[in-house]
Amino acid sequence: MSGLDFLSPDLARRDGGFDPVATSPLARALRGSQLRDLSALGKLDVRGDVDLPSSLRAVRTTPRRALVLCAPEDVARLREELAAVDLTAALAGLQIDDERLLRRLTDLDLEALPAAGAVAGVPGILTRDGDSFQLFFAQELADHVAEVVLDALEGLR
């Protein structure tokens, strides 16, 4: 293993006491809730003047940068094809299907998505797919985000 290979689930190998475990940072916190964990979704950071095919779900974060979302089984192929950095293990993901809940969690304009900004008090990328919202944020903040989101959800009942 070299560099940041441990961030790519398909490249992570047992080595020198490191024993990779494929688990979501949100799995325990979301158990029994109506929220969907998107952490296993492939997340690739593509930089530069790359012409992305329209068949890919790409979230432009800057004019020269995009977050490509894909099925886990497509990560290795797309990482190579796009010369991308695999952020799959670095970013947790959460799907929220309740716009009222999301409005309690962020000041971002939900009509102008995708956007980067604070959601549940942490920096993240927020996208929209129909009536569903997807939030991607640093996996080490997963417990905090889950707690804030579940508390806000309880307040809506």
Stretch (H or E) spanning 65: strand 65-70
Q: Is the pLDDT reported for residue 94 higher than 50?
A: yes
Helices (H), 9-141: 27-30, 75-82, 99-105
- Please give the residue that has the higher pLDDT: either 77 or 6: 77
The residue whose two tokens read 């290795």 is 76
Q: Is the pLDDT reported for residue 35 higher than 70?
A: yes
User: Going from the N-terminus, what domains does the chain have, and what CATH number goes with each?
Assistant: 5-155 (3.30.1360.120)
Q: What is the pLDDT of residue 22?
A: 58
Q: Are strands 91-96 and 57-62 parallel, antiparallel or unpaired?
A: unpaired
Q: Is the pLDDT reported for residue 71 higher than 80?
A: yes
Can you tell me whether residue 130 is helix, strand or coil?
A: coil
Mean of all residue pLDDT scores within the chain: 86
Mean pLDDT to the nearest integer, 117-122: 96
Q: What is the pLDDT of residue 68?
A: 96
Q: Is the pLDDT reported for residue 48 higher than 80?
A: yes
The residue whose two tokens read 């993240």 is 124
> Number of helices (H) and strands (E), helices first, in the chain?
4, 9
pLDDT band (50, 70, 90) for residue 3: low
Q: List the end-to-end C-alpha distance of the chain, in Å, as a whole number.
A: 48
Contact (CB, 8 A) for 74 and 7: no
pLDDT band (50, 70, 90) for residue 87: very high
Task: Give CA–CA dist 45/88, Å, rounded.
Answer: 9
Can you tell me whether residue 44 is helix, strand or coil?
A: strand
Residue 151 sits at φ, ψ, to 5 deg, of -65, -45
- For 18-33, the pLDDT digits (tens) are 655 556 778 778 887 8
What is the DSSP code (8-state) at residue 36? E
